[in-house]
Amino acid sequence: MINNKNLIIVALVIVILIMAVGYSAFATQLTLNGTAEITGEWDVKIINIEAQDVSEGSNCGEPQFTNTSAIFSAELNKPGDSITYVVTIENAGTIDAKLDNITFSPDDENGSPAINYTTTEPSKILNAGERTTFTVTVEYDLETTEIPSIKTKTITGIIEYVQK
């Protein structure tokens, strides 16, 4: 029979092993931007990115996101093509939040110079329990005369809220 002391050792080993297995499975990196992990009270994060109005022949890729950052990789074929991404942010915690920082950085080095982007802003105030959305529209410049061989562009967005 397992006594109390051994039970604690067994429980510790099992929990650590489950965590180790989970950690390997999700391959999470230690590169969260902005704020710490979800706690009960502070829980503001991106919950969804949906591609809308995708021009025919364009590829919206699979947008990736963490709690506070989003990566959009768009492939556009001809001038006039565009993709609109709708990003949803939720405040599921109990603290009201305000927008502190929103920045977008396109990967100009490896992306097409003919592809530009425009964005809208999410709500400046995001009270507990509320959701807000904003859009990132990636467009192939209509006035481009030379068609570059690279047809893709990656844009990284950082969206940080802080306590109101």
What are the two backbone dihedrals, phi and then psi, of residue 51, each rounded to the nearest 5 degrees?
-90, 130
Contact 155, 118 (CB under 8 A): no
CB of 85 to other proteins, least distance (A): 15
Q: Nearer to other proteins by C-beta: 13 or 142?
A: 13
Q: Nearer to other proteins by C-beta: 10 or 142?
A: 10
Collect all residues with Cβ–Cβ distance below 8 Å to 21 and sequence separation of at least 6. Answer: none
CB of 135 to other proteins, least distance (A): 21
CB of 101 to other proteins, least distance (A): 9
Q: In what order do the strands lie in the sheet with 97-106?
A: 64-65, 69-75, 152-163, 97-106, 125-126
CB of 125 to other proteins, least distance (A): 13
Q: Nearer to other proteins by C-beta: 96 or 141?
A: 96
Binding residues (CB under 8 A) for other proteins: these are: 5-6, 8-9, 12-13, 15-16, 18-30, 32-44, 64, 66, 71, 92, 94-95, 97, 128-129, 160-164
What are the two backbone dihedrals, phi and then psi, of residue 31, each rounded to the nearest 5 degrees?
-125, 40
CB of 41 to other proteins, least distance (A): 6
* Pairwise CA distance, residues 142 & 140, whole Å: 6
The tokens for 25 are: 């499975």
Q: Nearer to other proteins by C-beta: 118 or 127?
A: 127
Q: Which residue has the tokens 């990656």?
A: 154
Q: Nearer to other proteins by C-beta: 1 or 143?
A: 1
